[in-house]
Amino acid sequence: MFIRRHWWAIVYSLFLAAFTVYLAMDTFVISRAYTVVTETESGRESTAAADTEQSNETGSDTEAVLSETFYRDENIEITITEYREYDTSIFVADIVLSSPEYLQTAFAKNAYGRNVTEKTSEIAESAGAILAINGDYYGAQEDGYVLRNGVLYRSTAAAGQEDLVIYDDGSFAVINETDITAEELLANGAQQILSFGSALIEDGTVVVSENDEVGKAKTSNPRTAVGLIDDLHYVFVVSDGRTDESAGLSLAQLAEFMKELGVVTAYNLDGGGSSTMYFNGQIINNPTTNGRSIKERSVSDIVYIGY
């Protein structure tokens, strides 16, 4: 009797619950690939790069010199150094390039979309990367500029969003999406726009304090950042965190550390469980989401060095 009297309310409640579950799944789980990146758009070679430990088929005309912490050919030189600061292990890749074309980005599964993810190492291997770090996890947001390898995928501005722009000459600039359109940046020679933040260093000056945190977390975490030291001289920085061995860094600590490296422009990328550094086929740091297990988190994109 009760069910017959209130059947409409029961049906409506079931419909509302199902719709709520669908919205949550659509936002966080269901994968939607909007654009498959072509070889021309991605800047990738038509065949995957072979394992550099076995041979040098990276695009260089000279044999690469490499070890667990070093890589050098005629166009790319990378040195990996581990530091111990703030009770945290910090991994720094010092990079010198002959041309900005070797600083690239790549999408998970070679596709721009929503909830399209792979591990940093998987994206790096697919791209033939020598060195890679996780990117800005654009796929977790519905707005914010997405410009990769000279192709504009999303031009919807996020109010107050601070981005890193990498131009075709390899230079860095920090912009606010409120102040300039993605189309204008592309016309001005932008090749990459990374939309996470915040900026850490501008013109050699630290621009964050201990009160500045992504999401106002105000806590130490694993971190990923990219910095410019001089023309075609970069650093990728990844810190561990959330474990007994490594406390993690605040944004201010990360900025101060990078300033000591001589960085003049530095930008914070997605961190926490996403923070991963890949070099020559190996994961260099100890990525973790909860501190209890060391494993990579799947992400939507990477920043990498390669051919």
Of 110, 133, 128, 102, give the one whose Cα is nearest residue 222.
Answer: 133
**The amino acid at 83:** Y
What is d(CA 242, CA 253) in angstroms, rounded to the nearest whole number?
A: 15
Residues 56, 75 contacting (CB under 8 angstroms): no
pTM (global) more than 0.75: yes
Query: What pLDDT was estimated at residue 219?
Result: 76
What's at 268, amino acid-wise? N
In this structure, which amino acid lies at residue 166? Answer: I
**Per-residue model confidence as pLDDT tens digits over 239-294:** 999 999 999 999 999 999 999 999 999 999 999 999 999 999 999 999 999 989 99
Domain extents for the chain? 1-30, 37-306
Q: Which sign, positive or negative, has the C-alpha torsion 270, 275, 277, 278?
A: negative
Q: Is cis: bond before 198, omega within 30 of 0? A: yes
CB count, 10 Å around CB of 229? 18
How many angstroms separate the CA atoms of 203 and 205, rounded?
6
Encode pLDDT of 18-64 as tens digits: 444 333 444 445 666 677 776 555 544 333 333 444 334 556 667 99
